Amino acid sequence: MIKTGLACRIGRMAGDSGPERVLVAASFVNRVGNGLFNAASALYFTFVVGLPAVQVGAALTLAGVMGLCAGIPGGHLADRRGARTIMTVALAVQALSMAALVLVESWTAFTIIATIDQIAAAAGGAAWGALVVRVGGERPALFRARLRTFVNLGVILGTVGAGAALAADTRGAYVMLILGNAASFALCAALLLLLPRYPVLPAPPQQRRWIAFADRPFLTFTALYGAMGLQYPVVSLLLPIWISEHTEAPRWTVAALFAVNSAFCVVMQTRIGSRIESPYDGGRAFRIAGLLFLVSCPMMALAAYAPVWAAAGLVLVAIFVHSLGEVWESSACFALGFGLAPDHAQGQYQGVLGLGFNAGQALAPAILTTVVLGLGTTGWLLLALFFAALGAAGPSLARWGMRTRPQPGVAAEVTG
């Protein structure tokens, strides 16, 4: 009875319809695999394969740049050929490329395989965005919040599994992580076959093919989204270095901040995200996120001036506030990113949005480590003001975007 009740509760959390549960399950499985791989990939290629760290970084950078070019055409293809089809093909390619990594013995082979994987990931990511819109139904905000909750949970479980392999520190353990990730791609692709074959939505006549590039409000939002995305490496890169080099907080604080960040996002995403449905809601949520980052960044800086336990407590409170901002920010980006895009071009728009976000993530390490760490406390305060200024633009951006969307009557007339 208890197990049945728990299963029913998880089922309700996963979605209100069969397609919603399928996409949640597929995304969860895929992210468990990602968690397995991401936590140990660099160690495998440096310590087991024997590639210098510089070569590993160069290969991943080159692969990432090539992947940036694939998201927009991949999304457009999803709009015209079906998001489920393109995403399934992309996952199959990733399953094969990931499995091939266990055969890598040279930098050239690693670069080629990693590039294929990143191209497929970019195309599949844009198709995933279009598929989420079709599956989301009448309450897309609630579905997207639930989806992100399970995605975060999947990454956590995968990372825990990777910890066992890291403790073993053998070639066989690392290979199992890579093959586990490959299997997650394959299983995810198989699960997507259970989804309905959603019909392709026709574009209005005489509309230009690359409509997203003429949408100035959306391009502006893409730039803001990429810039606000610097908040993710604050947790994964900047704060661990700051704690280790500039504070008296014990080293276990680094592990604790990851746990607090992940757990809080899992717990709060559905509760907050389900209320942010329209682009107007998204604009206000974007502003709230900026204000929360305005509070969290100075608290992280102040930890450098506090004694041991006060520093640890200050960091944990700061990461709590920062995680709250992350939930508001991700919910805002869901509402604006999907809400401003026309239904027939969701894949193309998500490809553009992914390009902006990934470009920001590529620049983030250099910006955060040189500007913020280089300036110390002043750098943290400038970062806080930067996030607040970005967030303040959210409501006016939402109003601008909605003013320039086709009105329902006009849209019906054009497509009629």
**Closest among 388, 406, 283 to 335, alpha carbons compared:** 283
- pLDDT band of 411, cuts 50, 70, 90: very low
412 within some domain: no
Please identify, among 160, 192, 224, the residue that sits at the C-terminal boundary of a domain: 192
222 within some domain: yes
Domain of 348, CATH number, reads: 1.20.1250.20
Give the separation between CA 384 and CA 369, rounded to whole angstroms.
15
The DSSP symbol for 65 reads: H
138 & 246 share domain: no
Whether the CB-CB separation of 248 and 311 falls below 8 Å is answered with yes
Whether the CB-CB separation of 32 and 158 falls below 8 Å is answered with yes
DSSP H stretches of helix in 137-201: 140-168, 171-192
Q: Which two tokens stand for residue 228?
A: 């606000």
Give the separation between CA 243 and CA 249, rounded to whole angstroms.
6
Q: How far is CA 326 from the centre of its chain?
A: 11
Q: Which two tokens stand for residue 98?
A: 């990931």
The DSSP symbol for 179 reads: H
243 & 116 share domain: no
Whether the CB-CB separation of 280 and 371 falls below 8 Å is answered with no
255 within some domain: yes
Q: Which two tokens stand for residue 314?
A: 């200050």
- pLDDT band of 225, cuts 50, 70, 90: very high
Mean pLDDT for the chain overall: 84
Q: What is the domain count for the chain?
A: 2
168 & 258 share domain: no
Give the separation between CA 53 and CA 288, rounded to whole angstroms.
39
pLDDT above 70 as % of the chain: 92
Q: Which residue has the higher pLDDT, 217 or 166?
A: 217
278 & 243 share domain: yes
Q: Which two tokens stand for residue 116?
A: 């294929």
Query: For residue 7, what pLDDT is reported?
Result: 46
DSSP H stretches of helix in 69-170: 71-81, 83-100, 107-136, 140-168
Give the separation between CA 133 and CA 142, rounded to whole angstroms.
12
CA dihedral 382, 255, 60, 386 (to 10 degrees): -10
376 & 241 share domain: yes
**Closest among 344, 340, 277, 335 to 134, alpha carbons compared:** 344
DSSP per-residue string spanning 238-280: IHHHHHHHH----THHHHHHHHHHHHHHHHHHHHHHTT--SHH
Q: Which domain holds residue 251?
A: 211-404
- Amino acid present at 396: S
Segment (H or E) for 289: helix 279-302
304 & 253 share domain: yes
**In the block, residue with structure tokens 């400038």:** 382
The DSSP symbol for 49 reads: S
229 & 160 share domain: no
Least reliable range by pLDDT among 17-21, 23-27, 285-289, 318-322: 17-21
411 within some domain: no
393 within some domain: yes
14 & 115 share domain: yes
Q: Which two tokens stand for residue 349?
A: 């728009």
111 & 143 share domain: yes
Q: Which two tokens stand for residue 300?
A: 């992280």
202 within some domain: no
112 & 224 share domain: no
Cα angle: 72, vertex 116, 73; to 5 degrees: 15
200 within some domain: no
Query: For residue 26, what pLDDT is reported?
Result: 93
Query: For residue 318, what pLDDT is reported?
Result: 93
- pLDDT band of 54, cuts 50, 70, 90: confident
42 & 166 share domain: yes
pLDDT above 90 as % of the chain: 33
182 & 217 share domain: no
Whether the CB-CB separation of 59 and 114 falls below 8 Å is answered with yes
Whether the CB-CB separation of 153 and 29 falls below 8 Å is answered with no
pTM of the model as a whole? 0.81
Cα angle: 197, vertex 202, 206; to 5 degrees: 160
Q: Which two tokens stand for residue 188?
A: 């995810």
Query: For residue 206, what pLDDT is reported?
Result: 65
Whether the CB-CB separation of 368 and 229 falls below 8 Å is answered with no
- pLDDT band of 39, cuts 50, 70, 90: low
Give the separation between CA 223 and CA 231, rounded to whole angstroms.
14
203 within some domain: no
- pLDDT band of 71, cuts 50, 70, 90: confident
